[in-house]
Amino acid sequence: MTGPRIPLNLASEPFRRDRPILVASALTAALLLGVFIMLVTIIVRQRDAARDSREMMARLEGQLRSVNTEVAKLESQLHQPANAAVLDRSAFINSLLERKSISWTRLFEDLEKIFPGSVRLMAIRPYITGDGQVQLDMVVGSQAREPVIELLKRLESSELFGATALLSSQPPSQNEPLYRFRVSVNYVQKL
């Protein structure tokens, strides 16, 4: 008669399967050690790069200080009373040259392409703004308001002209049978 078998372990410690756990632990430890080494390497490289950047910044700041000192010395020479007249004359001549750099022929050709046939150009004054942009101050006239509105739309959608502002308007009078509008517009002349 054979009865049910009862597993019986007479060892002082029961048998455990620790090998897969030990292998997985060793692999995890090796992986973590690799990540640690990689992070240490990255930190060392970044520290070296930061040191190089600080050294370069110090050199550039030194060069900037010497250039600023030189500029200050030159400006003090320019602003001496003996040189002030030459500086003012130079600024005046430069502003004249900037104004003369606008080609009137090209300006009128560009305006002719934009203007509707029923709008007249009555006055125009180009000037150069502080940031070097050409601004046109124009007075235009028309028998009705709608052609001037069309002109404003065309100016704003053009590549040569930009932001447009309607500064003022005057209705027709006994002396002037046209509506008059004062318009300001940016202009980029292609040379």
Residue that wins the pLDDT comparison between 28 and 186: 28
Distance, in Å, from the CA atom of 142 to the CA atom of 146, rounded to the nearest integer, reads 9
Query: In this predicted model, what pLDDT tens digit does every residue of 81-102 receive, in sequence order?
Result: 777 777 777 777 776 666 656 7
- Which of 19-33, 79-93, 136-150, 167-181 is least confident? 79-93
Angle between helices 81-100 and 19-78 (to 10 degrees): 110
Q: Please give the average per-residue pLDDT across 140-167, as a whole number.
A: 86
Strand, coil or helix: 183: strand
Token couple for 128: 């150069």
Burial 16-35 (b: 16+ CB within 10 A, else e): eeeeeeeeeeeeeeeeeeee
Read off the pTM. Answer: 0.47
Residues composing the chain:
191
| pLDDT at 37 (0 to 100) | 96
Token couple for 87: 């500086």
Q: Give the max Cα distance, the chain.
A: 138
CATH ID of 102-187, from 3.30.1330.20, 3.50.90.10, 3.40.50.300, 3.30.70.2830: 3.30.70.2830
Query: In this predicted model, what pLDDT tens digit does every residue of 60-80 receive, in sequence order?
Result: 999 999 999 999 988 888 777
Q: Please give the average per-residue pLDDT across 151-167, as a whole number.
A: 85
Distance, in Å, from the CA atom of 55 to the CA atom of 66, rounded to the nearest integer, reads 17
Q: Give the mean pLDDT of the chain.
A: 83
80-86-87-91 Cα dihedral, nearest 10 degrees: 170
Report CA torsion sign: 56, 62, 65, 71: negative
pLDDT bin (cut points 50, 70, 90) of residue 190 is low
